[in-house]
Amino acid sequence: MNVSGQGSNYIFVFRGNDPAFYDALVAYNPVGWTAVCHESQACAGTYFTISAVVQVDTQSLYLYLVDANGNPGTPDSGAWYYFTDEPYPVAKTTPVYGSSGLTTAQQIKTDAMLAAANAGQGNTVEANIVGDSNDVYIDQAGAPSYISLMILGNNNSFNSTQSMDIGAHAYNETEILGDNNNVNLIQTGSGMKAAFINVTGNSNTASVTQKDSGEHYVQLDITGDSHSATILQEGSGNHEATVSLDGTQPWNFNLTQGGTNDQTFTLPHDMSDGSNVSGSCNAIGGCNLTVTQQ
């Protein structure tokens, strides 16, 4: 909390407000860091660069500020600020293509698949794999199919095909923690198709294909650097994709949603200032985003 008077060119941090936070600032000496006004404050979105740190005594710390033009900064008195060692602002917004979240039909499908799996119905695979250089292939066909897979390790390859009979549903929930991961998922059939993919690590590649008639949903979250992700949702209608890509290195993302109508896509992202926008690229040199909605 800034306890300096209005118009001062520094943030005055008093140790008594939060001793642990105060001591951390002293230890890190955040010269060159960015001070960002918290989103809950009237000054939300404003930011300054910390140009000097002066410890007046054991209880008082002055963080001198400059604005984007190098002029003395004037933070709001009494406002809450947080500090980051990353450049700010770092995000470049991408277009909004619709609202995220499951439709009513998709939610019913997801709940039904979980209930079926818990009851031991349909084709059910639940597995946890720990180690490196894993090569996993799962092929399900015919009846409603459910996959719940967790892989912890590096150099992982996961391929899954769910080929459903008319009206049968397919559900895939996969979590991978590690580097150099390759995920390739295919869901086919006229029933509802849902895939929830969460990958944490670097140099990840993910491909999700959902085809045949209608009811497609993909939630893809990739955290780390140097991603490549491709999603194909064919017709007829009922498409939704919610994608979150993060990291400081360039990523490539390609989404194709076929006809007929019912096409929705979002690339949500929390900005470094605490706000939320539809999408961003934090990579120096930019990222590649391709969206085709037929």
Identify whether residues 134 and 274 lie together within a single domain: yes
Identify whether residues 80 and 117 lie together within a single domain: no
In a domain, 99, yes or no: no
Burial grade of 38 (CB within 10 A; 0-12, 13-18, 19 or more): middle
Identify whether residues 197 and 78 lie together within a single domain: no
Please report which confidence band the pLDDT of residue 11 belongs to, taking 50, 70 and 90 as the band edges.
very high
In a domain, 98, yes or no: no
Identify whether residues 31 and 66 lie together within a single domain: yes
Quick: pLDDT tens for 227-272.
777 888 776 666 566 666 666 666 677 777 665 665 665 555 443 3
Quick one: pLDDT at residue 260?
61
Please report which confidence band the pLDDT of residue 206 belongs to, taking 50, 70 and 90 as the band edges.
confident
54 lies in which domain range?
A: 10-84
Identify whether residues 224 and 163 lie together within a single domain: yes
Point out the domain boundary residue: 84, 118, 146: 84
For the cut 60, the answer to whether the pLDDT of residue 195 exceeds it is: yes
Please report which confidence band the pLDDT of residue 62 belongs to, taking 50, 70 and 90 as the band edges.
very high
Quick one: pLDDT at residue 28?
84
In a domain, 239, yes or no: yes
Identify whether residues 215 and 288 lie together within a single domain: yes
Segment (H or E) for 255: strand 252-257
Identify whether residues 186 and 251 lie together within a single domain: yes
In a domain, 63, yes or no: yes
Strand, helix or coil at 15?
A: helix
What total number of domains does the chain contain?
A: 2
Identify whether residues 78 and 203 lie together within a single domain: no
Identify whether residues 116 and 79 lie together within a single domain: no
In a domain, 89, yes or no: no
Point out the domain boundary residue: 84, 112, 128: 84
Please report which confidence band the pLDDT of residue 285 belongs to, taking 50, 70 and 90 as the band edges.
low
C-alpha–C-alpha distance, residues 13 and 109, integer Å? 52
In a domain, 3, yes or no: no
C-alpha–C-alpha distance, residues 266 and 148, integer Å? 24
Q: What is the dihedral of CA 219, 224, 229, 231, to 10 degrees?
A: 0
Quick one: pLDDT at residue 270?
44
Quick one: pLDDT at residue 98?
40
Quick: pLDDT tens for 154-184.
888 889 998 887 777 788 888 888 888 888 9
C-alpha–C-alpha distance, residues 10 and 143, integer Å? 65
* Entry pTM: 0.54
